[in-house]
């Protein structure tokens, strides 16, 4: 797949975060995602501490996401014979065009 990727803006992030589940927000607030931590016990402690906060609907400044708008998909179907099937869908002038590529 190929796509145009954009970071979501603060207004979208705040609205989305405000409508999320309380417990999902608690883990988002309590975690520095993918940062190293000493133990899983610390993860659970941080989460429990965040549940006590009053601002679980307030979107943190560091929190957000990305949107993507696809414009190309390739589906590859492999075969033992190496006569692989490659179906492509590509967005051209707001229409999806289908074609097949050679293996």
* Residue 88 to residue 1: CA distance in whole angstroms: 10
How would you label 40-60 residue by residue, b for 16+ Cβ within 10 Å and e otherwise? Answer: eeeeeebeeebeeeeebeebe
Token pair recorded at residue 34: 């993918």
Domain ranges of the chain: 8-65, 67-101
Non-local (6+) Cβ contacts of 29 within 8 A are 50, 53, 55, 56, 60
The per-residue pLDDT for range 38-87, each reduced to its tens digit, is: 999 999 999 999 999 878 999 988 899 999 999 999 999 999 999 999 99
Query: What per-residue confidence (pLDDT) applies to 88?
Result: 98
The predicted model scores a pTM of: 0.65
Calculate what percentage of the chain has a pLDDT beyond 90: 87
pLDDT of residue 1: 94
């Amino acid at each position: 797949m190929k796509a145009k990727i954009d970071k979501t803006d603060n207004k979208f992030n705040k609205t989305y975060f405000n409508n999320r589940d309380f417990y999902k927000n608690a883990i988002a607030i309590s975690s520095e995602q993918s940062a190293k931590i000493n133990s899983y016990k610390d993860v659970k402690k941080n989460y429990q501490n965040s549940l006590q906060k009053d601002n679980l609907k307030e979107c943190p400044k560091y929190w957000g996401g990305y949107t993507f708008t696809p414009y190309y998909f390739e589906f590859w179907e492999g075969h033992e014979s190496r006569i692989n099937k490659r179906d492509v869908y590509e967005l051209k002038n707001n229409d999806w065009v289908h074609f097949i590529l050679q293996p």
